[in-house]
């Protein structure tokens, strides 16, 4: 006997028994812990590694901080690729699985926190603004035409306090 799908073994076909193939591909991650370990490894890799001089001693900058090489900013695309996904969107789609939503959200929040910290850095502020707007929905307050005041989209602007 042959089923309409072309399979030959139709024993218990109607009941979902022998002869039924599982649909879909094998999950990329067996557990949230496995994914979390890969996310941690990605952020560790982003930190870079210390530069050593010819004698094997670490090199320090003028402020006394170790000079790092291969340092790179964490990004959503970088996180997706480190997890073995082909795109940022694939990572976002994977977050729809209930067992991975917290793990992926935490990873995305770490990228967001890094970008938010770069807002205070003169060299990284523009890139941080871009990634926060595009990936996390952050918006700069806009001036309203009526009064020139900044729109308060959930942000409370406090008056400046002067000492004296």
pLDDT value at position 154? 54
Strands (E), the chain: 49-50, 68-69
pLDDT value at position 58? 94
Residue 5's closest CA among 26, 19, 25? 19
Residue 126's closest CA among 138, 137, 118, 134? 118
> Which residues on adjacent β-strands are paired with residue 68?
50
Residue 161: is its pLDDT beyond 80? no
Per-residue pLDDT reduced to its tens digit, 10-35: 454 455 555 555 567 788 899 999 99
Per-residue pLDDT reduced to its tens digit, 41-73: 999 999 999 999 999 999 999 999 999 999 999
pLDDT value at position 13? 47
pLDDT value at position 25? 76
pLDDT value at position 2? 47
Place of tokens 């006997």: 1
């Amino acid at each position: 006997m042959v089923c309409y799908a072309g399979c030959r073994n139709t024993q218990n076909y109607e009941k979902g028994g022998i002869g039924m193939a599982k649909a879909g591909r094998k999950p990329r991650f067996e557990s949230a812990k496995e994914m979390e370990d890969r996310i941690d490894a990605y952020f560790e890799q982003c930190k870079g590694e210390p530069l050593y001089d010819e004698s094997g001693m670490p090199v320090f900058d003028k402020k006394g901080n170790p000079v790092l090489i291969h340092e790179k900013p964490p990004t959503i695309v970088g996180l997706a690729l480190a997890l073995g996904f082909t795109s940022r969107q694939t990572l976002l789609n994977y977050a729809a699985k209930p067992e991975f939503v917290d793990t992926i959200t935490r990873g995305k929040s770490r990228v967001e926190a890094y970008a938010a910290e770069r807002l205070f850095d003169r060299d990284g502020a523009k890139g941080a603004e871009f990634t926060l707007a595009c990936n996390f929905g952050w918006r700069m307050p806009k001036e309203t035409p009526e009064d020139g005041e900044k729109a308060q989209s959930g942000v409370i602007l406090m008056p400046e306090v002067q000492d004296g």
